[in-house]
């Protein structure tokens, strides 16, 4: 009877234990995958989080290896304002912030064309890394591509602030190019190009493409 009761309890608890295990493990470089395109791009301009890596504005953390990232704004070593934000956009502009975005009269600051209500500061535990913009990637990998370009990073369409994204060049796994004329529903429209960038996230590295691109 005791064995039957114990087995019954285990059957009842098993789904909860499985859910707890799944919830507990979220791979660092896959945490953004929970977003949809609208949340990722902050459609509606609610005011999003801007990421600053070693003083450089990279907009989003999707293009860096989070296993090598540490917080650069802690209670023991806080960011001290005023602070310079470098590398903004394709022109690598600099912006001087007198105080945190949330303490301004508006409750946000404009960095490039992005409304930032939060700025998060991080340090990259890598030496000699290179940050590249989406335009840098196009010029390097597809210099002959002209006209309108739609960018994707992993599953996300980049719907705005294209010039503000910066990625760790070594964290890019591979890049694909798709012409709109090859998409049946779009072939009669004005042509454009889709450049899709895949990072070295766990999800991408578990695909069959990973070993092929690692050999290149």
- Give tens-digit pLDDT for 30-61: 888 888 998 888 866 666 899 999 999 999 99
| This prediction's pTM | 0.82
Contacts 24+ apart (CB under 8 A), 182-187: none
5 or 192, which is more confident? 192
Q: Quick one: CA torsion of 50, 124, 205, 216, rounded to 10 degrees?
A: 120
| Residues contacting 37, CB < 8 A, separation 6+ | 43, 156, 157, 159
Cα–Cα dist 167/62, whole Å: 8
Q: What is the mean pLDDT of residues 150-160?
A: 96
11-31 pLDDT tens trace: 455 555 444 444 445 688 888
Note the pLDDT of residue 17: 47
Average pLDDT over residues 123-151: 96
Q: CA nearest 129: which of 166, 172, 169, 91?
A: 169
pLDDT at position 31 is 81
168, 169, 156: which is closest to 203 by C-alpha? 156
Per domain, the residue ranges of the chain are 34-124, 131-214
Grade residue 203 by pLDDT with cuts at 50, 70 and 90: confident
How sure is the predictor about 166, in pLDDT bands with cuts at 50, 70 and 90?
A: very high
**How far lies 78's CA from each of 60, 71, 81, 122, 134, in Å?**
21, 10, 9, 11, 31
pLDDT above 80 for 122: yes
């Amino acid at each position: 009877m005791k064995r039957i009761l114990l087995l019954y309890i285990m059957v009842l608890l098993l789904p909860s234990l499985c859910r707890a295990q799944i919830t507990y493990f979220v791979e660092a470089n896959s945490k953004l995958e929970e977003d949809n395109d609208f949340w990722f791009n902050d459609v509606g301009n609610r005011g999003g989080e801007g990421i600053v890596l070693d003083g450089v504005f990279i907009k989003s953390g999707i293009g860096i290896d989070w296993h090598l990232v540490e917080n650069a704004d802690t209670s023991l070593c806080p960011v001290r304002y005023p602070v310079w934000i470098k590398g903004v956009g394709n022109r690598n502009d600099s912006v001087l912030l007198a105080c945190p975005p949330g303490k301004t009269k508006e409750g946000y600051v404009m960095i490039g064309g992005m409304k930032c209500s939060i700025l998060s500061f991080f340090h990259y535990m890598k030496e000699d890394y290179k940050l590249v913009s989406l335009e840098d990637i196009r010029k390097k990998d597809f210099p002959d591509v002209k006209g309108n370009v739609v960018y994707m990073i992993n599953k996300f369409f980049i719907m705005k602030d294209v010039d503000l994204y910066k990625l760790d060049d070594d964290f890019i796994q591979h890049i694909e190019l798709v012409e709109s004329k090859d998409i049946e529903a779009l072939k009669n429209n004005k042509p454009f190009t889709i450049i899709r960038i895949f990072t070295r996230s766990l999800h991408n590295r578990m695909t069959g493409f990973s070993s092929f691109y690692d050999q290149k």
